[in-house]
Amino acid sequence: MTNGDRVRVVVTGLGATTPVGGDAGATWSGLLAGCSGVRALTAPWAADLPVRIAAPAAIEPAKVLERVEARRLDRTCQLALVAAREAWADAGHGASGASGAAAERVGVALASGMGGVTTLLNNYDTLREKGPRQVSPSALPMLIPNGPAAVVGLEIGARAGVHAPVSACASGAEAIACGIEMIRSGRADVVLAGGTEAAIHPLTLAGFAAMWALSRRNSEPERASRPCDRERDGFVLGEGAGVIVLESARLAAGRGARVYCEAAGHGISSDSYHLTQPDPGGHGAIRAMRQALADADLRPGQVRHINPHATSTPQGDVAEATAIQEALGAAAPAAAVSCTKSMTGHLMGAAGAVEAVATVLAVHHRMAPAAINLEAQDEKVPLDLVHGQPRRLPDGPFAALSNSFGFGGHNVTLAFRVTG
Amino acid sequence: MAASREEIRAGLAEIVYEITGVDAKDVQLDRSFTADLDIDSLSVAEVVIAAEDRFGVQISDDYIKNLKTVGDAVEFIQRAGAVA
């Protein structure tokens, strides 16, 4: 089958709950306004940590959900459910199932990088302090990494398959790639895809701090996440969820659905270089981007917007910039690059999904958000980084890429394209 | 002072509401947790844990497996020496 004969996949619904907004609309407005979601951690448990900043969800998910519903869900599941409900309704699908598709044709691909890590740790505290009889019978179903996918699958009545690919900070993007493939391969007509993460806990902060991966700009939380700036010193741990509804173009057209853009392709590669360090040559990232372009039938010159992985670590941002230049060649300067992690922090397993939501909206509205905290661009990142004000993207057809990379050497690139 | 049957029932009803959202006034002695109140086995297990904590008793594993009605639970908790 050539790419031209393939089932086309479009995006019909969006949902997000992030450090800058409690839904996709508020998140998008926050990104365009340059709002930082990074906060000082003032709780007593944070007092002795070397890193006392993070990017918590702007809206408490437990306050959006029913009380009883919330208490049986880990926070990753809560965030996923909030974003999934928004996306599903946004796509025009109903509480009783998908519009125009049987349950057997509806799937879920929703990932988390860490799973229910706070449930695990809190129940371990209970085990130590109160003994085994007080460990919650809900602990295990709450902490399994496929929990969010399963909970959302139950919510929408998905019976074509429920998946939760785990690839650290590339998980959310990999889930979306998985969703695209479910539709292309004929297994499903509609897939709710995305990622969720809720791992702001002293253990994760201490662990990432021990790796020197996190910014220690404790006195200036809003200035801490600064991808590609010379003064960057690590990422800021964030939490949230992003979900998109993927649909076969035929079903979307048949039911008259609003289409944001085409989910045109994806590329996935692995570094086999180091467990946590990026390959300085960015070879795996280059392959992921090239595969995404080939998969989407795109030439480099058609890529006019990129939402990079760019987490604000000294090494990672440079390796990615090198990879983008190599993958796009002479066309690299034509892509407006929006480092949205400067506002959201790094949502780990949710990052690729929230950034996919941002990329879809950038394509749909033809507007690239501007990074904040880009005061002195690192000369080793010679890309066209949007800062100051959001930038208008071209009229007419164009495409955008969203990159996500994860510990373990996972690289995922998603390609979205203007439709119509 | 030892807790009365009604005190224990009311306490259980509060726990059931907290965990499952089932209206406390529906939690009566003759009601089955699963068949009448539609509470799944995981939630029953949570109710037991919370009841042990609240009434200062330990409910044996064998008894939990055979637990059916609210009245069963009240009787066991009372015999186990629950204090109000």
Task: Give the tens place of pLDDT for each residue, A73-116.
Answer: 999 999 999 999 999 999 999 888 898 899 999 999 999 999 99
Mean pLDDT of A272-277: 90
| CA separation for the pair A383, A377 (Å, rounded) | 9
Measured CA to CA in angstroms, residue A220 lies from A226, A234, A236 at distances of: 12, 14, 12
In a domain, A3, yes or no: no
Question: Do A171 and A272 fall into the same domain?
Answer: no
Residue B1: per-residue pLDDT? 67
Question: How many secondary structure helices (H) and strands (E) does chain A include?
Answer: 14, 14
Of the candidates A254, A282, A313, which is a domain's last residue? A254
B19: which chain A residues are within 8 Å (Cβ-Cβ)? 68, 71
Q: Does A274 touch chain B (CB under 8 A)?
A: no
- CA nearest to A130 within chain B: B53
Closest partner residue to A68 (CB to CB) among B21, B52, B53 is B21
Q: Is A169 a catalytic residue?
A: yes
The per-residue pLDDT for A1 is: 52
* Domain end among A205, A227, A254: A254
Q: What is the per-residue pLDDT across A140-169, written as a single tens digit (0 to 9) for each?
A: 999 999 999 999 999 999 999 999 999 999
ipTM of the modeled complex: 0.83
Cα separation, A11 vs A16, whole angstroms:
14
Q: What are the CA-CA distances from residue B51 to residues A134, A381, B58 (Å)?
A: 11, 60, 9
Which residues of chain A does B45 touch, with a Cβ-Cβ cutoff of 8 Å? Answer: 137
Average pLDDT over residues B34-53: 91
- For residue A2, being part of any structural domain is answered with no
Alpha-carbon distance of A340 to B30, in angstroms, equals 58
In a shared domain, residues A154 and A298: no
CB pairs A-B closer than 8 Å: 20
Enter the tokens of residue B22.
């089932």
Q: Running DSSP on this structure, what letter comes out for residue A8?
A: P
Q: State the catalytic residue, choosing from A35, A77, A93, A169.
A: A169
Number of structural domains (chain A) is: 2
A66 interface with B at CB cutoff 8 Å: yes
User: Collapsing DSSP states into helix, strand and coil, what is residue A264?
Assistant: strand
Reply yes or no on whether A309 is catalytic.
Answer: yes
Shortest CA distance from A142: residue in chain B: B42
pLDDT score, position A276: 86
Check which CATH number belongs to the domain holding A367 and give it.
3.40.47.10
Name all domains of chain B by residue range, CATH numbers in brackets. 5-79 (1.10.1200.10)
Residue A129 touches partner B, C-beta closer than 8 Å: no
Q: What is the mean pLDDT of chain A?
A: 96
Query: Are A292 and A341 within one domain?
Result: yes
**Catalytic residue, candidates A93, A266, A283, A346:** A346
3-state secondary structure of A34: coil
* Same domain flag for A243 and A270: no
Does B19 sit within 8 Å of A71, measured CB to CB?
yes
The domain containing residue A347 runs over which residues? 265-415
Q: Name the residue among A66, A67, A136 with its Cβ closest to that of B46.
A: A136
Single-letter amino acid code for the residue at B48: V
Closest CB to B46 among A66, A67, A137: A137
Residue A340, domain member (yes or no): yes
Task: Give which of A66, A69, A71, A129 to mutate to test B binding, by max B Cβ within 10 Å.
Answer: A71
Return the pLDDT at B7. Answer: 94
Q: B53: nearest CA in chain A?
A: A134
Residue B62: pLDDT band with limits 50, 70, 90: confident
pLDDT tier at A279, thresholds 50, 70, 90: confident
Residues A81 and A224 placed together within one structural domain of the fold: yes
A376 and A285 part of one domain = yes
The pLDDT tens digits for A17-39 are: 999 999 999 999 999 999 999 99
Of A254, A279, A298, the residue at which a domain comes to its end is: A254
**Is A249 a member of any domain?**
yes
Q: Is residue A226 part of a domain?
A: yes
Q: Is residue A387 annotated as a catalytic residue, yes or no? A: no
Q: Do A137 and B42 touch (CB under 8 A)?
A: yes
Per CB distance under 8 Å, which residues of B are interface residues toward A? 19-21, 42, 45-46, 49, 52-53, 58
Split at pLDDT 50, 70, 90, the class of A3 is: confident
C-beta atoms of B49 and A138 within 8 A: no
For residue A355, being part of any structural domain is answered with yes
Task: Tell me, yes or no, if A67 comes closer than 8 A to chain B by beta carbon.
Answer: yes
Per-residue pLDDT reduced to its tens digit, B10-29: 999 999 999 999 999 999 99
- B contacts of A141 (beta carbons < 8 Å): 42
A68 touches chain B (CB under 8 A): yes
Whether residues A220 and A73 share a domain: the answer is yes
A193 and A212 assigned to the same domain: yes
CB within 8 Å: A136 and B20: no
**Phi, psi dihedral angles at A106 (to 5 degrees):** -115, 130
Question: Which residue, among A77, A242, A238, has the nearest Cα to A149 in the 3D structure?
Answer: A77
Q: Dump pLDDT digits (tens) for A352-379.
A: 999 999 999 999 999 999 999 999 999 9
In this structure, the answer to whether residues A205 and A272 fall within a common structural domain is no
Residue A266 has pLDDT above 80, yes or no: yes
Note whether B49 contacts A134, CB cutoff 8 Å: yes
